[in-house]
Each structure stands twice: as structure tokens, then as C-alpha cells.
Amino acid sequence: MIQIIPAIDIIDGKCVRLTQGDYNQKKEYHSNPVEVAKMFEDAGIKRLHLVDLDGAKQKHIVNHQVLKNITSATKLDIDFGGGLQSDEDLKIAFDAGAKQITAGSIAVKNPEKVQGWLMQFGKHRIILGADAKDGMVAVHGWQETSNLSIQQLMNQFLPFGISYSICTDVAKDGLLQGPSFDLYKQLSKEFPQINWIASGGVAEFADLEKLNDMNIYAVIVGKAFYEGRISLKQLSQFNA
């Protein structure tokens, strides 16, 4: 059964969503992320994807207090990402209660650093952020596109035991037009040893069912929930 992971994206301590990673297309949904997290937990959801969008832009952790507030108030397993660039950033995130961290831009810019994290913390605590823009990896809050393909990025980390990867198709994110099913099908076939976490484009409950039928490990749901297209009750069906 696919795991459903709701997303909370943070700017200035508030719960927001961007469209295609564009900071100029920001919509605020809630001023208190802790209340949103509690709502997910009360519905029986076990996990949360927490993104520090200020951190992604500033290239270092910013909203760690929000993380700490949520881990103090709930028992959700949180994966935290956005701007994690240094050993100190990781220490702050783990000390604040993150169960896992997502290494995105740093995995492209400094693969040796993330390989070291895998060796130090283990494969279950490090998620590789492999965000795709026209097949290439996008970095720094999707404001830059690297010269690496998703496949090249994965191959750099397989020897170090990477087991989890979040893959967002930037072209789909926030548009409510459906996920990149073909991309996830291809990646699952090429890298069956990876627990793929689909992200971006989920528009309706049928999208979750289709990803479940494809045996995708997990899916992140953001805008579709906040815009009322998928209910809490529907999300919780997969976590029964």
C-alpha cells in the first residue's frame, strides 16, 4: 500500500504553496503549521513532508523552530528539506526532531558531502531529492537547472546505499494536472532498489490510486488537499 505524505511548505513560519517553485506565485493557506500538522495526525496520517522554502532560497536551514514545534506537538515522522547544505544544518534538523532529511541541491553541488552523510547516518535517514526539469536535475528551490540527469544523479549515490528518493517533476508541480506517471514508471524500472516518493501534480484521489497500482512507495500531497480536491478522509484511507 502506498504511503501518503502530506506536505507543509514554510515561508516566514507560515504554511504556503508555490506554483512550479515560483516564489512570486505564493499562496498562504494557514498561519500556524502546527495546527495543520495536528490535523493530519488526528486523521491517522503518520508522516509529514516539511519544506523550508526560506532555507531553500538562502541555502541554509531557516525554519527549524517550526520543525521543533511540530515534532514537540505531534508524533508524526517528519522528513525535512530545503537549504540543508552543511553538517551543522543536519545537526540542527535532527536535533529539532526530523526523522529524515532530504538532500537536494547539495547532492548535485557536493555529492561527496551527501555520500558522507549516508555513511554517517545510514540510508534510512537520508532522502535524495531528485527534482526534474526537462529530464535534468533542478536545484536551489528549482531556480537553477543542473547539467545532470536524474539517472546520472542516482548512479552517484547507489554505491553508498541510497534507498529513498523524492522525485518532483517541476513542470507538473502546483498545476493540479496529474503526476508524471511515465517518469515514475521509468524510474521504478531503472532503479527498482529505490523507494520512490512521487511529488507534484496530484489533482484527485484517482491519481493516488493509480500510483498505488504502480507500486510506488509513497506520494506527497500538497495543493490538491489545500484546495479541497482531496479530503483528509480520502488521504487517511491509505494509512489504515
Query: Which residues does the annotation mark as catalytic?
Result: 9, 131
Q: d(Cα 79, Cα 96) in Å, to the nearest integer? A: 11
**Coil/strand/helix, residue 95:** helix
Residue type for position 163: S
Q: What sections of the chain are H helices per DSSP?
A: 33-42, 53-58, 64-73, 87-95, 105-109, 111-121, 150-157, 181-190, 205-213, 223-226, 232-237
Length of the chain counted residue by residue: 240
Cα–Cα distance, 230 to 219 (Å, whole number): 13
What's the CA gap between 5 and 236, in Å, rounded? 10
Q: Amino acid letter at 79?
A: D
What is the 3-state secondary structure of 34-57? Answer: HHHHHHHHHCCCCEEEEEEHHHHH
Residues in Cβ contact with 111 at an 8 Å cutoff, skipping those fewer than 6 apart? 156, 157
